[in-house]
């Protein structure tokens, strides 16, 4: 049996579960720090992925519960593209990655984990970041705690 120590997951295991879409965030800015929301725009928001593929993994999602990019209004789509550009620059400046994965999975067959609420992923990448853990044991190692990543990135959005 393989064991992986992930002490931050106990908050998820024991904590309250959402009755609705996890990306439908109420306009309660007092909870943004707890929810790891980095930025709220007029039409979209930026949030740290609680289950990251790599360190610095963030997501951009529309405020409105919409599952397809074709359903975005021109204003939502424009702000989303501006945020994609801004977030790319922030991740490049802060983490100095050798690359970035930027993607949108539309529909369950395309790999969308939250198919009902579309969102873009931005994932910093470094040569060799998959290491032996991912190759041999199908395990990813995230070298920084989510709270530390949130606190360091939040300064760029203030």
What residues act catalytically? 119
Coil, strand or helix: which one is 71?
helix
Structure tokens at 98: 């050798």
Interatomic CA distance for residues 43 and 63, integer angstroms: 6
B/e letters for 110-135, b = 16+ CB within 10 Å, e = fewer, are eebeeeebbbbbbbbbeeebeeeeee
């Amino acid at each position: 049996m393989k064991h992986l120590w992930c002490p931050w997951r106990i908050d998820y295991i024991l904590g309250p579960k959402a009755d609705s879409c996890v990306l439908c965030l109420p306009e309660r800015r007092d909870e943004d720090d707890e929810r790891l929301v980095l930025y709220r725009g007029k039409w979209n928001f930026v949030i740290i992925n609680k289950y990251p593929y790599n360190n610095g993994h963030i997501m951009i999602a529309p405020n409105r519960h919409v599952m397809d990019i074709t359903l975005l209004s021109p204003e939502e789509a424009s702000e989303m593209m501006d945020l994609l550009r801004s977030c790319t620059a922030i991740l490049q400046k802060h983490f100095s990655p050798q690359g970035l994965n930027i993607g949108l999975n539309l529909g369950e067959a395309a790999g969308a984990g939250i198919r009902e609420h579309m969102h873009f992923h931005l994932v910093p990448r470094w040569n060799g970041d998959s290491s032996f853990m991912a190759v041999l044991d199908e395990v990813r190692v995230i070298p920084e705690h989510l709270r530390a990543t949130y606190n360091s990135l939040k300064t760029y959005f203030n």
